[in-house]
Amino acid sequence: MDSKIEIKVTNPKNGDKVVHSVRPGRATSPSPSSQSSQSSDGRRRRQGQGYGHGEGEGQRNRGREGQQAGRFIDFMPFKKWVPWMIPGFVLVNIFLFMITMYINNCPKNSKKCVGSFLGRFSFQPFKENPLLGPSSSTLEKMGALEVSKVVKSRQAWRMISCIWLHAGVFHILANMLSLLFIGIRLEQEFGFVRIGLLYLIAGFGGSILSSLFIQTGISVGASGALFGLLGSMLSELITNWTIYSNKFAALLTLVLVIVINLAMGILPHVDNFAHIGGFITGFLLGFVFLIRPQFGYVSQKKVPPGYIAPSRKPKHKTYQYVLWVCSLILLIAGFAIGLILLLRGVNLNEHCSWCHYMSCIPTPLWSCKNRQVYCQSTEFGKSLNLTCISNGKSEIYPLTEENTSQVQQLCSKLCG
């Protein structure tokens, strides 16, 4: 049975008070049955709508304002943010890709560039990079994730810089479209601070897990951070379960999208460990960053003057606090353990014989083994002659310190 509350409206002229009995959560105008009555001394007692001529209209206006205030409290939406950070991230990624292609300068290092009319922005040959992009040596120079440099040279910054680089046009196109589709909605709902931190931390978490399992070659791309956003959407739905309608349909749809995207990671040359690490990080961060007040909670700061809330609910439910604490503990522990293992040079494949199947499953259509290439090198004055043993191709390179330190990459390029 509904209890009642009172709203007091003060007349600014003489301070007389009008008291209306209304139901909780809604301020209403007085009942038409409440009429003026005469007191024994001949003066009119003001009650309900019984104001004198010229004051009744003001009271009716206040009644309508009370109705609007009640509706405001009952149905107040969450603040909507104007998304600018996610479009900014997209522009930064595109700009860095153009800088990478400019530094790559394919015509200077290769005779069979794709799109040669683009000049130094042309792409490496398809055999070397089928994604229409730069060479691996250029990506390494720009800050790609390479475990040996992170562990031995202590270049930990590569674990963040790699999420801003992409291997080719197809790669950046797929990631940026996904970022716009997922990120703009989240930024509108939760703001740029929380979503920006979530994006960066999830990308870092993806780099940690990738480095612990894939310790040969280089890795680039924003996929780990993107999977972090997907994971946060799932945890946000779980922790804010009470404020959603059609929640089961939304949950099934989101889980299906996540499973399909993770399943794509079993293809060769896809770093699914970065996807999994980013997803787990984002899933835990969602419980920390994206928590909402429970349904029916009324913030005292948002209550209009004169409104008395019928009951005060706690801001969050108990299970929300439990998930918040557990997720924060798991995040801190996971990052600490992962970084310690990484800096010690631990390869988790040696302790998990089946984990490599999470990143690539061999089929008759493709192989998951990295093909080893071998070259014979000979120095002639200021030139370096490399001959690929598998196909017999030879190439002469200028003998520089850079080429000397990247003989293996030049060999891979020659044998590709």
What residues are labeled active site?
Answer: 223, 275
DSSP for residue 373: -
Alpha carbon distance, N-terminus to C-terminus of the chain: 78
Q: Please state, as a whole number, how many other Cβ atoms lie within 10 Å of the Cβ of residue 340.
A: 10
Quote the CA–CA distance of 88 and 90 in Å, as a whole number: 5
Do residues 93 and 164 lie in contact, with contact meaning Cβ atoms separated by under 8 Å? yes
Write out the H or E segment, with its range, that includes residue 180: helix 169-190
Per this entry, what is the length of the chain? 416
Do residues 50 and 30 lie in contact, with contact meaning Cβ atoms separated by under 8 Å? no
Do residues 106 and 200 lie in contact, with contact meaning Cβ atoms separated by under 8 Å? no
89-96 contacts, C-beta under 8 A, 24 or more apart: 89/179, 89/183, 89/199, 90/176, 90/179, 90/180, 92/164, 93/164, 93/166, 93/172, 93/175, 93/176, 93/222, 94/172, 94/176, 96/142, 96/164, 96/165
Quote the CA–CA distance of 131 and 113 in Å, as a whole number: 13
Structure-token match 């703009």, residue found: 184
DSSP for residue 392: -
